[in-house]
Each structure stands twice: as structure tokens, then as C-alpha cells.
């Protein structure tokens, strides 16, 4: 069935035959033999032409000081390599590390990514460290790069997205006084969250602090934003958690937190803010966070995260109690009206993707007995990586488990998803045990990266 920008699966439940089946698999083992090298697919993105952008992190232990690497790949829709760039991180003293935040592509194929670097790395515009933003051309050449914050830990970027006009929006956490590019913000002692908008040339359009409401008995309150998405009209969706520090005489725990979801105008003004607590934001009934957000072509807002306690959404209250993670999926209308809630005991949702038509893909780690709505996916013991798909009316389309031999209690697993137009959903991450990704058993060298394309 052809895709149209103004139709959602809630209308037709469209899915390709064999949804969730593996189209192709790519193994990204380390270059060194034995237990001396690590690779991980950390972030994924795609462009309008169907190319996949993969950000990989790695460490090589072949000398007295580990070698930290940052790798970027551009792939064809069929998984063929277009180009690869590798950047080495120079130590800051002995310590050095690097983590990719997110990869996004402008419509014409320019690639943006964010990262946190302890040490120094040259992406083509000179050595940088700390929180960095980088733009590369479609051919992988450096266009611009910039550092956020004066020190390594003064800014922690969390998410980024490209607006319809090609501007880059980035959100994260900052502490102290930070110049974001001609606009300076100063946080309270505990820090605060920001959203900044940069032009295609890297110039700052605006930066905003994410406000948080206070309440009686609360000494301080702030919002920690973990995720960001932009719709076709430039409106911004933010997800994260509130954190409240209570007065010393309070009989409760001194710190409370809980998931929140927000929608902003294209200029950065708050249109609505919604909590998930049973009564009111900060009532102590629920803890957790929204870790992923998305928005359909019609503006429908989707949030996924982890929580424990009493959650209220779409007129119902649910008890979310798990020894570990308790995943959830919540959907709202553009104006903030709540559509539905789904929850998944013991599931840790690490990857999220959403296509313009509204199909929602979740990836993570959990027991194979998880019932996403169509019964347990597999009759297996232990935790296994999963990918599952929902429609925007709340119906479950399919679920897929990557069966792992002798699964460990914690599996590095799935770290990122991206939807590839006309192809399906690309899944990236890391595996350390023998795993079947749909092409037969794959044996890792040590801690290896992987990429899988699944039918939609």
C-alpha cells in the first residue's frame, strides 16, 4: 500500500507482508583479535534518499593506553558502504572517552551529529573536546563544528533533530555559565536543561531554558530533557523528567522525579506540558522519565520511557511496578489530549523510531515472555533484545526477538533505531553472545557492533 503524508496506520493498519522479518544484517566486529577491542553502533539516522548514517564507538586495547575511536558510516538502502570516516580521540592526560549522542540528516543529505568527548578529536575543523556539534557534507567532508560549554562536563547534550527548514535543534543539560554562540545562560547550582536552535551555517538562532513548575514544600525544581523531535510545521516535542528537591523538614524522600512531555512552538514557547503522575506533577506517586519522543505527519505526539509507580494517562490509572525497568508507550493529540497508554513490565526501551505515517517502533532488552499485545513473543528464558511495532490507534502490529544463546543478565543490545523510507526500520547496537538476527547464528569476536534492517 503506498504511503501518503496525511494518512496514518491508525486508519489502515498498513504493514508489509512479513513485517519484522530481516532484510539484511551487517556485522561490525573489532579489528583486533581476542578480547582487545570493542565496537558499538551508538546512533543511527537517514536522509530523504534512503541512505543510512551509522555512528560507531570503539576502543582498542593494544597498548599501555586504550585507543578510543569514533567512526561514521554512510550506507546505501541495501546496506552497501558509501563512505567511512574514523576519528581518533587524543587523551586528556590518561583519561579519554567518546560517546555519540545522535545522528540526523538534512533533506539534501548533510549529516549532523552530536557527541561528548573527554580528550580532543579533530573532525576537520581543528581539535575539540567536551560537548560538540558537527556538520558533514553528503560526501562526509567537514562543513563546521563547534564546542558547547567551557569545560568537559558543563554541557551534556541529550538529543538533536533537524527542522523542516534545515535548522538544527539540540537539547541537553548545562551547569554554570555557558555561551551557546552569542547567547549566554547561567544555571542554578543543580543545573538546568536547554533547547538551542542553530542555522545550517552553525549560527545560533535562539536558546531557551526549559522551565519547571514549583510547588509547596519544594526548594528547587528543574526539568531534565532527554529527547526531542520536530514536526513538519517546526513545532518541537520534548520528553524527559522533572526533578524536585524538597524542603529539609519534608517527611518524604528529599528528591522526587517523574516523566514529563512537552510541546513547544517553532519559536520556543511552551504550548503544553503534561505529567504522568496519578494526581499532579510531583505528587510522589510515580518516578521515571520519557526517554524517546516522536511526531507523525499529522502532529500526533508519541512518548516512550521507563517508570515505576502509579501512572495516569488517557483517563486510566495503571500500577507500574517492576524490580527493574517498566517500559511504557503513550500517545497524545497535537493539542495535548491523551490518546492511549501501553506498558511493558521489565522491558528497557533503548531504541525508538517513528515514520511520518505514524508507525511506532520500539527496541530494547527484556524477557522474551513480554506481551506487547499479541501474546508472548517467544517461549525463552532470560533477557533478549526485541523490536516491536505499534500503530497510532494502540494496536500491536508485530514483535521480534533476536534470540541470544546463554543470555547475560544485562545485554548491551539495541542502542538506536531509524526508519528507512520504503524499506523498514534499521536497528543498531552491540552483542557479546551468540545471537540469531534472522540470518542464522552469529558469533561475536568480543563486544561487536551490528546493523539489521527489518521489514516494516
Coil, strand, or helix at residue 12?
Answer: helix
| Residue 2 is assigned to a structural domain of this protein | no
User: pLDDT at position 408, please?
Assistant: 67
Distances (CA, A) of 311 to 149, 162, 286: 36, 31, 6
Separation CA 421–CA 112 (nearest Å): 19
Strand 301-313 versus strand 316-320 pairing type: antiparallel
Whether the pLDDT of residue 74 is over 60: the answer is yes
pLDDT, tens digit (0-9, with 9 covering 90-100), for 414-451: 999 999 988 999 999 999 999 999 999 999 998 999 99
How many structural domains is the chain composed of? Answer: 1
Q: Give the per-residue pLDDT at 216.
A: 67
Judged against a pLDDT cut of 60, whether residue 221 lies above it is answered with yes
Residue 238 inside a domain? The answer is yes
Mean pLDDT of the chain: 87
Dmax over CA atoms of the chain, in Å, equals: 61
Q: 373-408, pLDDT tens digit by residue?
A: 777 666 677 888 999 999 999 999 999 999 998 886
pLDDT digits (tens, 9 = 90+) for 95-105: 778 888 788 98
Strand, coil or helix: what is 139? coil
Residue 163 lies in a domain: yes
- What count of residues does the chain have? 456
Instruction: Give residue-wise pLDDT tens across range 327-375.
Output: 999 999 999 999 999 999 888 899 999 988 889 999 998 887 777 777 7
pTM above 0.85, yes or no: yes
Residue 396 lies in a domain: yes
Please check whether residue 256 lies inside any domain of the structure: yes
| Residue 246, domain member (yes or no) | yes
Best CA proximity match to 373, nearest among 347, 341, 398: 398
- Does a structural domain hold residue 132? no
Residue that is written with C-alpha cell 543529505 in the block: 109
Domain that holds residue 301: 150-348+371-402
- Structural domain includes residue 260: yes
Amino acid at each position: 500500500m503506498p504511503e501518503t503524508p496525511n494518512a496514518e496506520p491508525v486508519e489502515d493498519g498498513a504493514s508489509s507482508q512479513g513485517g519484522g522479518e530481516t532484510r539484511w544484517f551487517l556485522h561490525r566486529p573489532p579489528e583486533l583479535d581476542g578480547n582487545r577491542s570493542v565496537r558499538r553502533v551508538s546512533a543511527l539516522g537517514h536522509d530523504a534518499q534512503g541512505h543510512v548514517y551509522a555512528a560507531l564507538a570503539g576502543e582498542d586495547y593494544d597498548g599501555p593506553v586504550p585507543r578510543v575511536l569514533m567512526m561514521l558510516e554512510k550506507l546505501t538502502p541495501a546496506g552497501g558502504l558509501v563512505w567511512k570516516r574514523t576519528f581518533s580521540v587524543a587523551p586528556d592526560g590518561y583519561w579519554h572517552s567518546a560517546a555519540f549522542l545522535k545522528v540526523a540528516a538534512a533533506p539534501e543529505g548533510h549529516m549532523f551529529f552530536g557527541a561528548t568527548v573527554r580528550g580532543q578529536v579533530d573532525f576537520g575543523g581543528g581539535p575539540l573536546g567536551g560537548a560538540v556539534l558537527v556538520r558533514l557534507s553528503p560526501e562526509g567532508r567537514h562543513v563546521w563544528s563547534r564546542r558547547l560549554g567551557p569545560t568537559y562536563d558543563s554541557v551534556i547534550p541529550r538529543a538533536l533533530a533537524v527542522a523542516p527548514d534545515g535548522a538544527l535543534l539540540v537539547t541537553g543539560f548545562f551547569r554554570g555559565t555557558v555561551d551557546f554562540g552569542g547567547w549566554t545562560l547561567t544555571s542554578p547550582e543543580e543545573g538546568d536543561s536547554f533547547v538551542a536552535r542553530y542555522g545550517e551555517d552553525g549560527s545560533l538562532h535562539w536558546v531557551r531554558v526549559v522551565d519547571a513548575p514549583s510547588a509547596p514544600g519544594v526548594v528547587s525544581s528543574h526539568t531534565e530533557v532527554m529527547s526531542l523531535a520536530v514536526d513538519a510545521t517546526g513545532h518541537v516535542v520534548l520528553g524527559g523528567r522533572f526533578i524536585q528537591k524538597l524542603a529539609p523538614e519534608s517527611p518524604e524522600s528529599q528528591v522526587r522525579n517523574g516523566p514529563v512531555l512537552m510541546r513547544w512552538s517553532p519559536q520556543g514557547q511552551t504550548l503544553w506540558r503534561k505529567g504522568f503522575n496519578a494526581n499532579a506533577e510531583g505528587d510522589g506517586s510515580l518516578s521515571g522519565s520519557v526517554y524517546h519522543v516522536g511526531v507523525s505527519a499529522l502532529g500526533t505526539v508519541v512518548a516512550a520511557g521507563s517508570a515505576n509507580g502509579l501512572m495516569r494517562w488517557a483517563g486510566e490509572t495503571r500500577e507500574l511496578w517492576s524490580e527493574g525497568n517498566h517500559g511504557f508507550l503513550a500517545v497524545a493529540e497535537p493539542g495535548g489530549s491523551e490518546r492511549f497508554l501501553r506498558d511493558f513490565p521489565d522491558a528497557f526501551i533503548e531504541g525508538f523510531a517513528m515514520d511520518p505515517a505514524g508507525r511506532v517502533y520500539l527496541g530494547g532488552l527484556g524477557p522474551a515472555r513480554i506481551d506487547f499485545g499479541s501474546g508472548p513473543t517467544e517461549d525463552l528464558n532470560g533477557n533478549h533484545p526485541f523490536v516491536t511495532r505499534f500503530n497510532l490507534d494502540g494496536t500491536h502490529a508485530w514483535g521480534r526477538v533476536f534470540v541470544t544463546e546463554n543470555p547475560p543478565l544485562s545485554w548491551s543490545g539495541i542502542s538506536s533505531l531509524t526508519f528507512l523510507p520504503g524499506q523498514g526500520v534499521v536497528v543498531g547496537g552491540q552483542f557479546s553472545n551468540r545471537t540469531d538476527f534472522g540470518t542464522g547464528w552469529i558469533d561475536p569476536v568480543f563486544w561487536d557492533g551490528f546493523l539489521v534492517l527489518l521489514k516494516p
